[in-house]
Amino acid sequence: MKKRLSFLIVVCTVSLLSVPGFALDLNGIWNVTVTDSITHCAGAGKGKVGDYTIALTQKGDKITIIGQASQTRYVGEAKQGAPNHVHVHSTDNLHGGYVTELVDIDFDNDQTGKGGSVWRWSDGLYQCGGSYKFTLHKIQP
Protein backbone atom coordinates (compact mmCIF):
# COMPACT_ATOMS: atom_id res chain seq x y z
CA MET A 1 0.00 0.00 0.00
CA LYS A 2 2.82 2.38 0.89
CA LYS A 3 4.56 1.65 -2.45
CA ARG A 4 1.34 2.37 -4.38
CA LEU A 5 0.85 5.66 -2.59
CA SER A 6 4.47 6.67 -3.27
CA PHE A 7 4.11 5.67 -6.93
CA LEU A 8 0.86 7.67 -7.22
CA ILE A 9 2.50 10.76 -5.70
CA VAL A 10 5.44 10.50 -8.12
CA VAL A 11 3.13 10.08 -11.14
CA CYS A 12 1.00 13.07 -10.10
CA THR A 13 4.07 15.24 -9.50
CA VAL A 14 5.61 14.36 -12.87
CA SER A 15 2.26 15.01 -14.58
CA LEU A 16 1.96 18.45 -13.01
CA LEU A 17 5.53 19.37 -13.91
CA SER A 18 5.06 18.34 -17.52
CA VAL A 19 2.04 20.61 -18.20
CA PRO A 20 3.14 22.83 -21.08
CA GLY A 21 3.36 26.58 -20.40
CA PHE A 22 3.28 29.35 -22.94
CA ALA A 23 5.16 27.79 -25.86
CA LEU A 24 6.08 30.98 -27.74
CA ASP A 25 8.69 33.61 -26.94
CA LEU A 26 6.90 36.84 -27.77
CA ASN A 27 9.37 39.27 -26.15
CA GLY A 28 10.55 41.99 -28.49
CA ILE A 29 9.67 44.93 -30.70
CA TRP A 30 6.72 44.35 -33.04
CA ASN A 31 5.26 46.17 -36.03
CA VAL A 32 1.46 46.42 -35.89
CA THR A 33 -0.44 47.20 -39.09
CA VAL A 34 -4.02 48.36 -38.51
CA THR A 35 -5.92 47.08 -41.53
CA ASP A 36 -9.56 47.87 -40.77
CA SER A 37 -10.91 50.53 -38.44
CA ILE A 38 -14.41 51.65 -37.41
CA THR A 39 -14.93 54.65 -35.14
CA HIS A 40 -18.01 56.39 -33.80
CA CYS A 41 -15.94 59.17 -32.20
CA ALA A 42 -15.15 62.17 -34.37
CA GLY A 43 -11.51 63.18 -33.88
CA ALA A 44 -10.60 60.47 -31.37
CA GLY A 45 -7.58 59.38 -33.39
CA LYS A 46 -7.87 55.84 -32.03
CA GLY A 47 -7.10 52.85 -34.25
CA LYS A 48 -6.29 54.74 -37.43
CA VAL A 49 -5.27 52.55 -40.38
CA GLY A 50 -1.46 52.45 -40.61
CA ASP A 51 1.71 51.06 -39.06
CA TYR A 52 2.62 51.29 -35.37
CA THR A 53 5.42 49.92 -33.19
CA ILE A 54 4.92 48.18 -29.85
CA ALA A 55 7.19 46.65 -27.22
CA LEU A 56 5.92 43.32 -25.91
CA THR A 57 7.19 41.75 -22.69
CA GLN A 58 6.28 38.21 -21.71
CA LYS A 59 6.84 36.62 -18.30
CA GLY A 60 5.31 33.16 -18.32
CA ASP A 61 1.66 33.65 -19.28
CA LYS A 62 1.65 37.37 -18.31
CA ILE A 63 1.88 39.87 -21.16
CA THR A 64 2.64 43.61 -21.12
CA ILE A 65 2.47 45.72 -24.28
CA ILE A 66 3.52 49.36 -24.53
CA GLY A 67 2.65 51.41 -27.60
CA GLN A 68 5.78 53.28 -28.69
CA ALA A 69 4.01 56.43 -29.93
CA SER A 70 1.22 56.68 -27.36
CA GLN A 71 3.02 55.01 -24.41
CA THR A 72 -0.29 53.26 -23.67
CA ARG A 73 0.26 50.26 -21.39
CA TYR A 74 -1.73 47.06 -22.02
CA VAL A 75 -1.65 44.17 -19.56
CA GLY A 76 -3.08 40.67 -19.76
CA GLU A 77 -2.22 37.04 -20.27
CA ALA A 78 -2.37 34.01 -22.49
CA LYS A 79 -5.76 32.33 -22.55
CA GLN A 80 -6.01 29.16 -20.46
CA GLY A 81 -6.14 26.16 -22.81
CA ALA A 82 -5.25 28.26 -25.88
CA PRO A 83 -1.66 29.42 -25.29
CA ASN A 84 -1.31 31.17 -28.67
CA HIS A 85 -4.23 33.46 -27.78
CA VAL A 86 -3.48 36.59 -25.74
CA HIS A 87 -6.01 38.97 -24.17
CA VAL A 88 -4.81 42.39 -22.95
CA HIS A 89 -6.60 45.55 -21.84
CA SER A 90 -5.85 49.18 -21.03
CA THR A 91 -7.45 52.29 -19.61
CA ASP A 92 -5.94 55.65 -20.51
CA ASN A 93 -6.71 59.39 -20.46
CA LEU A 94 -7.70 60.76 -23.84
CA HIS A 95 -9.31 64.11 -24.78
CA GLY A 96 -10.68 64.90 -21.31
CA GLY A 97 -12.08 61.42 -20.73
CA TYR A 98 -11.04 57.80 -20.42
CA VAL A 99 -10.66 55.20 -23.12
CA THR A 100 -10.93 51.53 -22.20
CA GLU A 101 -9.67 49.03 -24.74
CA LEU A 102 -9.91 45.23 -24.97
CA VAL A 103 -7.49 43.51 -27.35
CA ASP A 104 -7.34 39.87 -28.49
CA ILE A 105 -4.35 38.53 -30.40
CA ASP A 106 -3.86 35.11 -32.02
CA PHE A 107 -0.19 34.37 -32.66
CA ASP A 108 0.62 32.08 -35.59
CA ASN A 109 4.13 31.62 -34.17
CA ASP A 110 6.67 33.77 -32.31
CA GLN A 111 7.08 36.03 -35.37
CA THR A 112 3.54 36.80 -36.64
CA GLY A 113 -0.03 37.19 -35.47
CA LYS A 114 -3.35 38.91 -36.00
CA GLY A 115 -5.92 40.44 -33.73
CA GLY A 116 -8.66 42.90 -33.01
CA SER A 117 -9.55 45.64 -30.57
CA VAL A 118 -12.80 47.03 -29.21
CA TRP A 119 -12.59 50.36 -27.39
CA ARG A 120 -14.89 52.78 -25.63
CA TRP A 121 -14.28 56.45 -24.72
CA SER A 122 -16.29 58.36 -22.12
CA ASP A 123 -16.02 61.63 -20.23
CA GLY A 124 -18.79 60.63 -17.82
CA LEU A 125 -21.48 62.35 -19.85
CA TYR A 126 -20.81 61.46 -23.48
CA GLN A 127 -19.49 58.14 -24.77
CA CYS A 128 -18.54 56.62 -28.09
CA GLY A 129 -16.30 53.85 -29.35
CA GLY A 130 -14.94 51.79 -32.16
CA SER A 131 -12.97 48.76 -33.19
CA TYR A 132 -10.08 47.81 -35.43
CA LYS A 133 -8.29 44.76 -36.80
CA PHE A 134 -4.56 44.38 -37.20
CA THR A 135 -1.66 42.11 -38.11
CA LEU A 136 1.67 41.89 -36.27
CA HIS A 137 5.19 40.84 -37.14
CA LYS A 138 8.26 40.87 -34.93
CA ILE A 139 10.92 43.41 -35.86
CA GLN A 140 13.52 42.37 -33.29
CA PRO A 141 13.71 40.04 -30.28
Residue 14 maps to a domain: no
Is 60 a member of any domain? yes
Secondary structure (H, E, C), the chain: CHHHHHHHHHHHHHHHHCCCCCCCCCCEEEEEEEEEEEECCCCCCCCCCEEEEEEEEEECCEEEEEECCCCCEEEEEEECCEEEEEEEEEEEEECCEEEEEEEEEEECCCCEEEEEEEEEEECCCCEEEEEEEEEEEEEEC
Per-residue pLDDT at 18 = 35
Q: With respect to residue 80, please indicate whether it lies within any of the assigned structural domains.
A: yes
For residues 139 and 141, give the distance between their C-alpha atoms in angstroms, rounded to a whole number.
Answer: 7
pLDDT at 19 (0 to 100): 40
Indicate which CATH number applies to the domain containing 69. 2.40.128.120
Is 115 contained in some domain?
A: yes
Q: Is residue 13 part of a domain?
A: no
* Residue 94 is assigned to a structural domain of this protein: yes
Spatial distance between the Cα atoms of 70 and 77, rounded to a whole number of angstroms = 21
The reply to whether 78 falls in a domain is yes
pTM score of the predicted model: 0.80
d(CA 116, CA 36): 9
Which residues span the domain enclosing 116?
22-140
Residue 6, in any domain of the structure = no
List, run by run, the mean pLDDT of 10-residue segments along the chain (141 residues): 44 38 84 94 77 95 91 90 91 89 96 96 93 96 83
| Number of domains into which the chain is organized | 1
